[in-house]
A and B are shown apart, each in its own frame.
Chain A
Amino acid sequence: MSITLEDLKHLANLARLKLSDGELDAMQSDLNRVLEHFEQLQSLDLGDIQFATHSSGLRSVWREDFPSIGLDRAAALFGAPEIQAGLFLVPTIIDD
């Protein structure tokens, strides 16, 4: 398995990353080197071991559903790059 330049461009779009041609080249060789290493896993016989996404064995815990005071609006907006009328401002998402 090896990653082509086209694959990389597709992945970069999914990951919302703009990569220069130089970055794409460097990444192609790095990623292929890393994937080569990952290939070793394919030879591993893990029998019927269960897929686990966590090591803790904990189940979700729930607290009582009661109202509490969260972050106030001014604090939440404080670090935003652009705000307007108490809201986050972003470029147009839906055209008229």
Chain B
Amino acid sequence: MGLCKLTAIELRRMLDSREVSVRELVDAHISRISDRNPVLNAFLTVTEERAYVDADRAQAMIDSGNAKPLTGIPFALKDNICTQGIRTTCSSKILENYVPPYDATLTTRANEQGMVLVGKTNLDEFAMGSSTEHSAFGPTKNPHDLSRVPGGSSGGSAAAAADNLAVITFGSDTGGSVRQPASLSGVVGFKPTYGRVSRHGLIAFSSSLDQIGPFARCVDDATCAFEMAFGQDGHDSTVSDRPYSSNSARNVELKGMRVGVAKELVGEMTEPGVKGAFDATLDLLSNAGVEVEEFSAPIVEHGVSTYYIIAPAEASSNLARFDGVRYGLRVDGETHIEMMKNTRAAGFGHEVKERIMIGTYVLSSGYYDAFYAKAQKARAFMKAEFEKAFEKYDFIVSPTSPTTAFKIGERTGDPMALKVADFCTIPANMGGFPAISLNCGFAEGLPIGFQIVGNSFEDDRVLGAAKALEALLVS
């Protein structure tokens, strides 16, 4: 257990000085996973054999003096990120036995870095959800309270990082699916700017919003994970080559900065415990010489509606590929149309079917202008409002989630109850902005997240500010 608690930064020193071998590190993690995973259900697949192959390769890199920042570090991938030869399910029955014939760019880059894959983590089916309850393979439990959700959709990756089952894990963030579970599970979760990390091999949910991001137990580890992952790969045309400074990501002076609090994001829905920890963190920032000011952006009140039109619309199209022909489940039917319908009926869970139906509805003629076109305009408006705020403020901050982790089953009755969990995280996806969540306290033993949003392609400054705030929070 001792080894599993350490950060990548600490482990780097120990691995390079031969204080510990990569195999010892893998032994410790595999043993912890076998103890804890039956309780948490964070992993859908544990890749023990692969981990030892990776470990020997990593050890050779270290021994030959070719170690990179994350060589030998155990990590896990959300199970919607393709791994050649290792099943990738999206937590769906339709892909239960799907083994990808290629690696995602993220997987390739982690391999090149000499990272050690310990497993694939649970998620809401096709990343549609905010609690990991909508997995075809059962919910993941929150390590802080097993009767509660870890958040979602990347709940398995959040719980794995929080419970020391892996040092770094990755998820995907479409409306908050990295930051919200990071908040509820008490770890760092970073969503880079849309266009930083290639989605090649990330099974698409909502292509204009999806972005891959890391979970870690400290900001520095998240920064290393992001730096390993980002940049063009020739497979995702949205990936930009805009400059990034790894120095800024580690050295931001908070004093003299201006921070805006969008007051609509801290409203009635915010639990008192969350509000208390958030305000206390604002005080810490003020005392460190940051100018904190409230501003108004009423458009964020429409974020949830906007998101739940755009994302299902894109999903209804992206998920058309699951038709029983080229991969995944097939359920026979008399005609090819019947075969498709039977396959999708048996393969998709209720939440996924519902979102496909919503997406099909908002795109159908007669409703397109009223819903889809209106939502796209609202998205553009939201982005413009935030950009206007960034002329005045270095960062926009808010709680990551209005609440702490809720009970498993508590919000499954009302279709809107779960959807508002992403209220504070959606605006960053709408504008494509980089955003991070880090733990800023606890209420009744449950973690609370603080979110920092920066202007597009200022990923380095967001990470740097988070690191500086982290130092204030632990001191």
Interface positions of A (Cβ within 8 A of B): 1, 3, 7-8, 11-12, 14-19, 23, 26-27, 30-31, 33-34, 37-38, 40-42, 44, 46, 49-56, 58, 60-61, 63, 71, 75-76, 78-82, 88, 90-93
Contacts and interface: CB of A to CB of B under 8 A. Distances in A.
Given A51-B380, A58-B195, A18 B344 contact: yes
A23 B353 contact: yes
Contacts of B306: 41
A4 to B, nearest CB: 12
Contact of B350 (A26, A55, A92): A26
B344 A16 contact: yes
Contact of B374 (A41, A50, A52, A71): A41
Contacts of A81: 324-325, 327-330
Given A27-B353, A42-B374, A79 B328 contact: yes
A14 B429 CA distance: 29
Interface stretch (B171-179, B246-254, B354-362, B438-446): B354-362
Chain A to chain B: the 8 pairs with minimum beta-carbon distance, closest first: A55-B432, A81-B330, A79-B327, A75-B101, A52-B380, A18-B345, A18-B341, A30-B415
Contacts, number: 167
Band of interface residues on B: 35 or more
Contact of A88 (B309, B325, B341): B325
B360 A14 contact: yes
A82 B431 contact: no
A8 B360 CA distance: 10
Interface in B331-381: 332-342, 344-345, 348, 350, 353-354, 356-358, 360-362, 364, 367, 370-371, 373-381
A82 B302 contact: no
A14 B342 CA distance: 14
A63 B367 CA distance: 38
Nearest to A34: B415
A44 B378 contact: yes
Nearest to A20: B345
